[in-house]
């Protein structure tokens, strides 16, 4: 699988991600950054744009991964 790289302003990067997302080509993002500043810039500038577009969440429904995936909770066998 080829590596995808996004370059440009925060708005341009958000538009590229939105395009891929709308095409169904992207439902998950994994990051590999050579420089920590790049990840910081993505979080600071691109994520808010994607949140406004409804692609990234602003809040989660639950405090657990299980809850956010809509999975039922199993009874704790150690609780009384």
Position 44 in a domain: yes
Q: Against a cut of 0.85, is the pTM above it?
A: no
Q: Evaluate whether residue 79 is within a structural domain.
A: no
Does residue 80 form part of some domain? no
Is 49 domain-assigned? yes
What is the distance between the alpha carbons of residues 35 and 76, in angstroms, rounded to a whole number? 43
The residue to which tokens 């500043």 are assigned: 37
Is 1 a member of any domain? no
How many structural domains comprise the chain? 1
Q: Find the domain containing 48 and state its range.
A: 10-68
Q: Domain for residue 40, yes or no?
A: yes
pLDDT digits (tens, 9 = 90+) for 13-42: 999 999 988 988 876 777 676 777 888 888
Distance between the two ends of the chain, CA-based, in angstroms?
Answer: 50
Average pLDDT, rounded, for the chain: 84
């Amino acid at each position: 699988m080829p590596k995808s790289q996004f370059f440009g302003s925060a708005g341009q990067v958000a538009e590229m991600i939105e395009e891929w997302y709308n095409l169904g080509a992207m439902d998950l993002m994994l990051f590999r950054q050579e420089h920590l500043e790049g990840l910081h810039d993505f979080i600071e500038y691109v994520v808010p744009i994607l949140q406004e577009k409804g692609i990234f969440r602003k809040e989660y429904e639950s405090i657990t991964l299980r809850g956010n995936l809509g999975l039922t909770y199993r009874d704790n066998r150690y609780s009384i």
